[in-house]
Structure 1
Amino acid sequence: MDTLAWSCRIKTARRKKRLVKTDRDKQLIKLAKRSRQIDEQLRSMPMVTIDKPYQRGWKRTFVLTGDMKQSRKAKFYEVLLSKINTVAYHHDKSFKRKKRRKCRYVFKEMEQLLQEFTAHKWNANKANLTDEEKSCFIRVETIDSNSRNIKVNYVFSEPWRYTLKVIPHIVTHVKLMDADLKSESLVIANHIKNYDLWPRINLLTRGKSYSWYYRYYERQKYINKLKNKPRYCSKEAYLDL
């Protein structure tokens, strides 16, 4: 019997499996879209002032040293600090963490560094660094053990100009929260985490199942040193490679 002449054809077993998979993918796309909408709504919640401010632990940040405050370039480094400063929070004023070493626990001070810029952030320059400020950074190359790629960071070359200062962390504003949105966000996050759905969601929405991090780094064996060299360069320029 020829089923092509029928107004409604019978679905084959292969088509049924394909429809089930397609419907599941549509559900994952809808789930990811809803998760993004909830995150945007939670981020757009306003900050409200509380009646009684309270202290919640301590915070540590960088400030200019005493000698630098008296120097002629104090204003320049103060502006630069506002772009590369980092803040750490801790419940104890000593900023020490318990760490196990040789079958016993010791307290080790937390390390805090100035902000470093990756190659992507350096080229994007979202921190609005000037040419004079960029001259204070050096290029540092390290090998990433996970991706086996060369990782490029731009590090501030004069960290001795700043020192750490510990001050009380006073809470004066809190973010307004929606209990229903927060509960729905946790339900979606737990469902995606428990069933390991992020690789499939990334494949459907972004075209790749791995993280965006590796897009900005090229493997060492695939780097072509002649790619950006014009053909009219001198012979010595090629011999230096």
Structure 2
Amino acid sequence: MNAKSSESVLLLQYGLKTYRQKRRAVVKDRDKQLLSLDKKRKQLWREERALGWEELKHPYQRGWKRTFVLREDIATGKKSSFYRNLLQKINTVQHSSSKNFTKKKRVRGKKVHKPREQKLREFYDYELDRVRLSQAELMLFTKLIYYSQQRKIFRMKYVFSEPWCFVLKVEPNMITKVQKHDSSLRSNIVQLENYLRKKHLEDRITKLRNGSVHWWGYKIYDLKQRDFNALRNQTLTNILDQHWYNE
């Protein structure tokens, strides 16, 4: 009996752990501690959000906001309630420090101010159940199929076909309430987040919670859109037989 086999017999006889088992136990215990820290951080976040809001005695303005509203003829028409209910589901809000709602863009080496574009909300096919559009509201949407350069696949979305029913309105962005703060609770959150960030533990927590650190959804390719090489996976003999002509 060699030394390795005798060592394994002793480990089994006395119930001792091997080096790999000890190392695995240490890593497993460490992962449990990380998950408990992540659970504690989420609990602190929930407690902070549950503090509520506090009304300000003196509201103040912070920039401007722009939203869609009903046109005057639509607001006084027979279907005003229908379009008003639909607007609550597809309305969008933009904020800006200036009333003009412009953005800087470099044109021919010069920075110019161009107006910012604002559209009504568009829905993907998997969002329809979440929005809960009625059958009459869904009839006003057009199904649009486009090619996503980011995911390299064809995607489908629903676009509102009557945007002329709404107009943009700019109004002051008034701050009337602020979120309540707890100094001790915020200190605990900052201390825990600093520890996880300085020790570089966020990736490990994400892997334990989601199974992977990276999101591979953007690596999906549509096989019909990929440019395949016609000479790929072919031997040199087959290539010469197909493309070489003896005169």
* TMscore range, shorter length: 0.7 to 0.9
> Would you say 1:160 and 2:164 are equivalent positions?
yes
Q: Give the CA deviation at 1:221.
A: 4.1
Deviation at 1:19, TM superposition (A): 3.0
Q: Which has the larger radius of gyration?
A: 2
Q: Identity over aligned residues, as a percent?
A: 35
What's the TM-score once normalised by structure 1's chain length?
0.76
2 CA distance for matches of 1:129 and 1:91?
Answer: 34
Q: Report the CA distance shift for 1:104/1:54 in structure 2 as closer, same or farther (over 3 A).
A: same
Q: 3-state SS of the aligned residue for 2:21?
A: helix
TM-score (norm 2): 0.74
1:151 equivalent in alignment to 2:155: yes
Deviations 1:106-140 (A, max 9, x none): 11222211111222211x2x333211011111122
Question: 2:24 — aligned with what?
Answer: 18
Could you tell me how far apart the structure 2 residues matched to 1:111 and 1:41 are? 38
Following superposition of structure 1 onto structure 2, how do residues 1-241 of structure 1 map, counting pairs within 5 Å?
2-6=10-14, 9=16, 11-12=18-19, 14-122=20-128, 124=129, 126-189=130-193, 197-211=201-215, 214=217, 220-221=222-223
User: What per-residue deviation string (whole Å, max 9, x for no partner) do you get for residues 62-121 of structure 1?
Assistant: 011223223322221111111111111111111112233332211122221111122221
Are the equivalent residues in 2 in contact too, given 1:199–1:210 (CA < 8 A)? no
Q: What amino acid maps onto 1:4 in structure 2?
A: L
Matched positions, count: 216
CA RMSD between the two structures: 2.9
Q: Which structure 2 segments of 5+ residues have no match? A: 1-6, 225-247
CA shift at 1:180, angstroms?
3.3
